[in-house]
Amino acid sequence: MGISAVMITFNEEDRLPDALASLQGVADEIIVVDSYSTDRTVEIARAARAKVTQNRFEDYGRQKNFALSQAGREWILNLDADERVSPELKRALVELKEKGAPEHIVAFAIKRKTYYLGRWIRHSGWYPDRKVRLFRRDSATWKGRIHERLEVRGAVARLPGAILHFTYRDIGDQVHRLERYSSFQAEEIVRQGKHCLFPRLFLLPPITFLRHYLWRLGFLDGFPGLVIATISSWGTAMKYLKAIALKRRPPH
């Protein structure tokens, strides 16, 4: 059973080395699709013997599908530059490679555990956060411009272990990314022709806060749980504010 590890990158010189190191002994090849980084990302990837291709970034779904097209093995392991393969997951992957996957299984879901503001998050809707990240190349396609999802055609099983997610570098990085994501999301809201944007703007941000902090037990994550709920609520407000602004923009 051959595995191609695939990741997309942009200016990840600080996090990429650990991600690549965690794949050693698991991946038969590593594919890195870079959207023209201005730091040492490409140099680091090539030094780790990854196959590097540069491709202009349009959206997350298209970039990941392009990366998928560069892979040469039957099975694909998708990893982001801010993620690592845990020791337990590595053992499970090595065992799976030796024994082979059951014929009817086309993909595996893996828990993702996030390290944020100095601690591992156990609640807040961030854990166990199972993601399909190992799949047969011809049985899945990435969908979506942002917060892309994998559309799988067939049966999905689970693997032990976890993907370790070292997400935002700091709160500033989180706010910066949320600003970019909310612009994508606002464009999607307008493109889909959603209505009642003002009621959504007033109702959904507090509901988002309550969902993360109370219903998903974010308060058990301490201060980080409060930050997650607050910034998630703010991000919800931002995407609807931007969507309203887009709809009010005069035609060209």
* pLDDT, tens digit, 9 for 90 and up, residues 49-68: 999 999 999 999 999 999 99
- Residue numbers in the chain where pLDDT is lower than 70: 252
% of the chain at pLDDT higher than 70:
100
Model pLDDT, residue 186: 93
- Write a three-state SS string for the chain: CCEEEEEEECCCCCCHHHHHHHCCCCCCEEEEEECCCCCCHHHHHHHCCCEEEECCCCCHHHHHHHHHHCCCCCEEEECCCCEEECHHHHHHHHHHHHHCCCCCEEEEEEEEEEEECCEECCCCCCCCCCEEEEEEHHHEEEECCCCCEEEECCEEEEEEEEEEEECCCCHHHHHHHHHHHHHHHHHHHHHCCCCCHHHHHHHHHHHHHHHHHHHCCHHHHHHHHHHHHHHHHHHHHHHHHHHHHHHHCCCC
Q: How far apart are CA 198 and CA 37, in angstroms?
A: 38
| Confidence at residue 145, expressed as pLDDT on a 0 to 100 scale | 78
pLDDT for 9 equals 97
pLDDT for 157: 97
* pLDDT digit string, tens, across residues 177-219: 899 889 989 998 998 889 899 999 999 999 999 999 999 999 9
Q: The domain 3-166 is classified under which CATH number: 3.20.20.70, 3.90.550.10, 3.90.1640.30, 3.40.50.2000?
A: 3.90.550.10
Confidence (pLDDT) at 252: 63
The residues spanned by each domain of the chain are 3-166, 171-248
pTM for the full model? 0.89
- What pLDDT is recorded for position 216? 96
